[in-house]
Structure 1
Amino acid sequence: MDFEYSPRVRELQARLLKFFDEHIYPNEKVYENEVAQNRRNGDAFIPTGIIEELKVKARAAGLWNLFLPHSPRAPEGLSNLEYAPLCEIMGRVPWAPEVFNCAAPDTGNMETIERYGTEAHKDKWLAPLLKGEIRSAFLMTEPAVASSDATNIECSIRREGDEYVINGRKWWSSGANDPRCKLYIVMGKTNPEAGKHQQQSMILVPADAKGVTVMRHLPVFGYDDAPHGHAEVDLKDVRVPASNILLGEGRGFEIAQGRLGPGRIHHCMRSIGVAERAIELMCKRLSSRVAFGKPVSAQSVWHERIADARCMIDQARLLVLRAAYMMDTVGNKVAKQEIALIKVVVPNMTLQVLDWAIQAHGAGGVSNDFPLAKLWAGQRTLRLADGPDEVHRNAIAKLELARHVPRPGAEVEMPVTRGS
């Protein structure tokens, strides 16, 4: 495995880092102040002007849609291995990926429509998503069931003539609060009597369809994550054309396998960037503060923590690069163990580095004067989002056992799960 970055990737890295220095870091407070002002005015979920301004600059700089590989509709797209170091940079500031049209859940939804949608679906939904004109949400997790097992999903998708009728309640539907969100990809059951993994389907639902109600936004450790946010959504007798079904009835798990693999690795790539931001802030803070007559950075306990943080970040990055390489060369299904490994390792590593960085900042670390507390809250959700640690550890263990004690006909599926 050769993880050396190509000249093209190195050039994009340099451009992206320059863009961050010139446009992202200087506007972090501008963004926060704009969201805060919208919140004071009574609606935190108004899109920010600064992101819309920066989108124009990012597109002009050729830093647009880099996530979507090998697509005729996004020729600028890269492989997973090529995208990894760029996604890592974007992860250093939570709202930055949207500037480059590389934000979740739009990335996963665009890949889903590109891979499984019809040309009509692509013309109607993928084209404006690729242009950054609209946003989207993915509705899978449900409040009434343990969604760590996606076979529990109860949302009904029932065929009536030339339409499907959808009834169900979803939550943690990231982005559904945003007024630019025009499309939902909904997972539900079309045939409860079919085999365990043939009951579910995915369907495209316009956000303004009759019967769709965004019930409330769901804060994370008190953060509303506006203007993106996470929502609880009610679907009551929602009717959409039968042509909106993706691939056909009973193909929902198949689509989820294809969608969640890239989604998981993108989360992990961004998390490496969060850890890098944390160690940078930690080192700067420790070097700028004096306690007991000498810089805090001179205390041996901090030497231990800084060294451990660097070891952990670099180890995790190598695991992510290996998973990306495997996905590019042998496909998501064969790379299922590598994907599960990083989904467990990377969020836990990043949380530990963030915890040390918070400790280094003292009381300031848990305040909003620094980005660490909010970054920690976001990272903690990743031990649940796209599958809790326990489910991924279970899959890893089964794959390891099968390698050493093979059972005829046994196959471990990559978990299809988004939360609990």
Structure 2
Amino acid sequence: MTFDQLSSRAQTVYKVLQDFVDNECIPALSIFEQQLGTGAARFQSVPPIMERLKARAKQLGLWNLFLGPEFGDLGAGLTNFEYGHMAELMGRCIRLAPEACNCSAPDTGNIEVLAKYGTPSQKERWLTPLLAGEIRSAFAMTEPAVASSDATNISTSISRQGNSWVVNGRKWWITGAGDPRCKLFLVMGKSNPGSSNVHLQQSIVLVPADTPGVQVVRPLQVFGYDDAPAGHCEVVFKDVKVPLDNIILGEGRGFEVMQGRLGPGRIHHCMRAIGMAERAMELTLARITSREAFGRKLAENAVVMHQIGNCRMDVEQARLLVLHAADKMDRVDPKAAQREIAIAKIRVPNLVLQVLDHCIQMHGAAGLGVDLPLAEMYAGARCLRIADGPDDAHLSQLGRNEIQKYLKKHKSQSSKL
């Protein structure tokens, strides 16, 4: 599973993207932060540099790279394995590159939902402008009042009243809700709480952001970082009415939609995280080979050598886990690759966090500040141990599946004796 295994077209895209990220996105970071401003202004406008980067990405053919062959001409047609390499490159500039290429969450997952399950009218109204990067969207699932790691706990109500669905509930950590370009919420709630099947109680409805009753309460911070202008927000839906045809796929099919959305997204997150780790290692290698302490270069210290060695092993292990999962998704499908996706989802953020922790340590006090991206990278990677399902939930399911697999095999073998 190496670069040489990519198609010639994917290799060309990779090289163009690598140049775009390193020579256009990373140098634009300081401009982006300056244009964001301070305080509430950070959520009121989008830095002009972002639109210039998006225009440049379109010009270079680096647009909607996440949409694979199954989506026809909507995207670049890359396989999951090929896109994994691209996502890693974009992770090197996590703040700008994914959005510049229209490959940032939560839009990627929402686009896939609309492309797979949307009606023609839903696609015309929402999918088309999302694909063009003209608007942004949010996925509203997590709630403050319940343990959302168990999605059957979701308490937001979606009730049918006449020709409308009425949504009532409070959500939080809703990525993208603070962006002034956010025009659409995909909201998960219970439309049939009395169903005996707990996985058929939920539905997902499309809620335009300007619908009366939608209130973005506040942006939340992760270790002090606000991720403006997108943010991670607390949002209240109070007597929000939308047409009946705003439901996705059908009533009671929220879990089905959600599972179709999360598999690829988990791989995207993991590979972008590896890009962060590679960028952190580059910054660290530049520092230790140029900085002296106690009469010699830091790179000559055996402890530092060990830390760099451990970082390299962690990154390589993480990359192979993700590419293995992506390859299996290509050969079978996300459901059949559930085991490999779960392993990557659990292990990769932890490995990346170890790398970032070493890199911060080797930078000393500088690693903790805002002059370098290391602390912000750490905050982002730490989120991944909770986002799209916490480690513990995935680990329990993984262990349960392994036990059931053994018992099934053991029972089968015993019956033959």
TM-score computed with the length of structure 1 as normaliser: 0.94
Q: Secondary structure at the match of 1:362?
A: helix
Residues in 1 aligned to 2:33 and 2:355: alpha-carbon distance in whole angstroms: 24
Residues 206-260 of structure 1 deviation map (CA, whole Å, 9 limit, x = unaligned) = 0000110111111111111111101111001111010010111110111111001
Q: Assess if the C-alpha contact under 8 Å between 2:42 and 2:228 holds in 1.
A: no
Residues in 1 aligned to 2:148 and 2:39: alpha-carbon distance in whole angstroms: 35
The equivalent of 1:412 in structure 2 is: none
Q: Assess if the C-alpha contact under 8 Å between 1:45 and 1:226 holds in 2.
A: no
Residues 31-58 of structure 1 deviation map (CA, whole Å, 9 limit, x = unaligned) = 12222xx215744442111011110011
**Following TM superposition, by how much is the alpha carbon of 1:334 offset from its aligned partner in structure 2, in angstroms?**
1.1
Letter in 2 for 1:341: I
Letter in 2 for 1:361: H
Q: Secondary structure at the match of 1:18?
A: helix
Letter in 2 for 1:274: M
Q: Assess if the C-alpha contact under 8 Å between 1:135 and 1:175 holds in 2.
A: yes
The equivalent of 1:61 in structure 2 is: 60
**Following TM superposition, by how much is the alpha carbon of 1:73 offset from its aligned partner in structure 2, in angstroms?**
4.8
Where do 5+ consecutive residues of structure 2 fail to align? 412-417
| 1:377 matched to 2:379 | yes
Q: Assess if the C-alpha contact under 8 Å between 2:178 and 2:233 holds in 1.
A: yes
Q: Secondary structure at the match of 2:200?
A: coil
Distance 1:233 1:68, change over 3 A: same
| 1:14 matched to 2:15 | yes
Residues in 1 aligned to 2:61 and 2:92: alpha-carbon distance in whole angstroms: 20
Name the structure where helix makes up a greater proportion of residues.
2
Q: Assess if the C-alpha contact under 8 Å between 2:280 and 2:359 holds in 1.
A: yes
Q: Aligned runs of 1:7-406 on 2, under 5 Å? A: 7-35=8-36, 38-39=37-38, 42-70=41-69, 71-95=71-95, 96-194=97-195, 195-406=197-408
Q: Assess if the C-alpha contact under 8 Å between 2:43 and 2:178 holds in 1.
A: no
The equivalent of 2:414 in structure 1 is: none
CA RMSD of aligned residues (A): 1.6
Q: Assess if the C-alpha contact under 8 Å between 1:105 and 1:175 holds in 2.
A: yes
Residues in 2 aligned to 1:238 and 1:318: alpha-carbon distance in whole angstroms: 45
Letter in 1 for 2:76: E
Q: Assess if the C-alpha contact under 8 Å between 2:142 and 2:174 holds in 1.
A: yes
**Following TM superposition, by how much is the alpha carbon of 1:407 offset from its aligned partner in structure 2, in angstroms?**
8.2
Q: Assess if the C-alpha contact under 8 Å between 1:45 and 1:228 holds in 2.
A: no
Distance 1:280 1:206, change over 3 A: same
Q: Assess if the C-alpha contact under 8 Å between 1:45 and 1:178 holds in 2.
A: yes
Residues in 1 aligned to 2:79 and 2:362: alpha-carbon distance in whole angstroms: 37
Q: Assess if the C-alpha contact under 8 Å between 2:21 and 2:93 holds in 1.
A: no
**Following TM superposition, by how much is the alpha carbon of 1:6 offset from its aligned partner in structure 2, in angstroms?**
1.6
TM-score computed with the length of structure 2 as normaliser: 0.95
Residues in 1 aligned to 2:376 and 2:133: alpha-carbon distance in whole angstroms: 26
Q: How many residues align?
A: 407
Q: Secondary structure at the match of 1:239?
A: strand
Letter in 1 for 2:21: F
Where do 5+ consecutive residues of structure 1 fail to align? 410-420
Q: Assess if the C-alpha contact under 8 Å between 1:137 and 1:181 holds in 2.
A: yes
Residues in 2 aligned to 1:312 and 1:234: alpha-carbon distance in whole angstroms: 41
Q: Assess if the C-alpha contact under 8 Å between 2:135 and 2:182 holds in 1.
A: yes
Letter in 2 for 1:39: T
**Following TM superposition, by how much is the alpha carbon of 1:94 offset from its aligned partner in structure 2, in angstroms?**
1.8
**Following TM superposition, by how much is the alpha carbon of 1:68 offset from its aligned partner in structure 2, in angstroms?**
1.1
Residues 267-307 of structure 1 deviation map (CA, whole Å, 9 limit, x = unaligned) = 00101101111111111111111011110010001111111
